Structure 1
Amino acid sequence: MASLQSASHVVVFTGAGVSAESDIPTFRDALSGLWERFDPAELATPQAFRHDPALVWGWYEWRRMKVLQAQPNAAHRAIVELARRVPKLSLITQNVDDLHERAGSTQVIHVHGSLHAPRCFACARPYVGLVDMPVEPEEGRRIEPPRCLHCHGKVRPGVVWFSEMLPETTLRQAFAAARDCDCLLSIGTSGVVQPAAQIPHLALEHGATVVHINRQPVASQHAREISLVGPAGELLPVLLRQAFTDPVGAE
């Protein structure tokens, strides 16, 4: 793809579809055990944590266990390879896992926070006492959250919950990258969760080519907007081969 090959700054913007290819459950997946009785969206709020912190902390530890058991997939690895091929790459993700980092990506912009960066609910100081591999039953359980070492407040997951604002500095950094890039790859995201959904539109508005890679087609609204339909783990390696290794003029 010529726009990728000639780009001086590429932004890669990833969503839940990339993590799902590593078998990490999304909010839309059917749940079992304790979690079958709950809408995940109802557990992802400050109000839920205030009402039942053990339930919410248990839910997020179950999710974190799933992440720690998962491995980066071909899409994560292709993004690392792309970073080696272009002058500048900014990686922005809506995912709260660390699979990009474990694949080898650096300086990842996590606009929705991270499961691996908990903080105090009261004073917001980071908490560093998480166990690397929690042994959580598949059916889930309630777990009392740990206490802050500074103020003894309850520790909360380091993710952005519904009704919360995205971190201002992080969002500003993501928006600046979108305005500056000349090619943006939007991968595995529905493009409806605001304000992060503005990122591809900002890139378009500032002259970039935007390529959507998704299992569902994305309606193109602009001549510089392209939709590729299929799994990211299959399409991204092909895209890289076409952009950087196929001979000029090859079919």
Structure 2
Amino acid sequence: MQKVILYVLLFFLPVGYSVTNHKDSVLLTSATSECEKLYIDMHLENIVNYAAFEQAFIGYNKVQEKNRDIITLIDFTKPSTEERLYVLDMKQKRLLYSSLVSHGRNSGENYATSFSNENGSYKSSLGFYLTESTYEGKNGYSLVLNGLERGINDRAKERAIVIHGAPYSNPSVIASGRLGRSQGCPALPQALSKPIINTIKGGTLLYIYADDHKYLAQSNILSSYTASL
């Protein structure tokens, strides 16, 4: 009886449609529903851009190297004068931190609009990273980032792109019209840098978002997302 029903369904499916396509569609719909539910459960409406959260959610589920249920999302569609870094506990369904964060000096003025993986570009790089160890450097307490996407951010270590605190990222700087800018690092306000670094260090995921079509076309991690667009 089940076979008869299946044959009948296949007869009425559009030309070129396959059961495999249907399964992929069902899986994608299920993942989208789970993402929407988590977004609502975490009370992120009017705080976090849903498209940014959805892409971060896909990466969070795809990147197996992470060893904790925390993801940091940076939304570069927002200006530097607004909080645009979010530390999210996906298991406990909590927003742990919301903070200002800088972008690279050659990525733009108040908005980050240009991105690069090249040495000496002084631009931010998009995509997914894993956090590693901490160290004391010229910018104080800092967190090493490992870029996971080839050709997009995999030169992060070579470029010394790390998370650190900086006076040019403090809220008082906003009076000048924008936050100060880095050489490509996501620099935090000094009062928040240490607690945030200690929360996300040691194998959590970081995603830097910018609604950038060039990035989406290159990203292997978000290939299932781009295929659905």
Query: Which TM-score tier does this pair reach, normalised by the shorter chain?
Result: under 0.3
Taking structure 1 as the reference length, what is the TM-score of the superposition? 0.23
Which has the bigger relative contact order, CA under 8 A and spacing at least 6?
1
The structure where strand makes up a greater share of residues is 2
Taking structure 2 as the reference length, what is the TM-score of the superposition? 0.24
